[in-house]
């Protein structure tokens, strides 16, 4: 099968965009070790602030009310914002 230069250029640009997307994903996942090196992986959640993804530790960051209020809301964030009832 023979491709024209335009088709090859288009394929190259598409692969380049995809490569950049994958590199961005990799950097985001590697950022766990910089921002949450003392967190257990199973406690980490991906949340968004104004559409930008961040890592949130559901145990350690739960008392940071300023952070929680700045997150884009979803069911889990709404649950975190509810006061915890004390049990005896």
Q: What is the pLDDT of residue 1?
A: 60
Model confidence at 88: pLDDT above 90 = no
Backbone angles phi, psi at 56, to 5 degrees: -130, 130
Q: What is the pLDDT of residue 2?
A: 66
Do β-strands 52-57 and 44-49 pair in parallel, antiparallel, or remain unpaired? antiparallel
Q: How far is 29 from 31, CA to CA, in rounded Å?
A: 5
Q: How far is 53 from 46, CA to CA, in rounded Å?
A: 6
Q: Which band of pLDDT confidence, cut at 50, 70 and 90, is reported for residue 86?
A: confident
Q: What is the pLDDT of residue 70?
A: 95
Tell me the pLDDT tens digit for each residue of 19-66. Answer: 999 999 999 999 999 989 999 999 999 999 999 999 999 999 888 999
């Amino acid at each position: 099968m023979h491709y024209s230069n335009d088709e090859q250029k288009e394929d190259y640009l598409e692969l380049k965009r995809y490569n950049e997307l994958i590199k961005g994903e990799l950097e985001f996942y590697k950022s766990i070790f910089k921002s949450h090196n003392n967190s257990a992986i199973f406690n980490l959640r991906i949340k968004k602030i104004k559409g930008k993804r961040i890592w949130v530790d559901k145990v350690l960051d739960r008392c940071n009310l300023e952070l929680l209020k700045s997150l884009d809301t979803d069911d889990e964030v709404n649950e975190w914002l509810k006061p915890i009832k004390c049990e005896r």
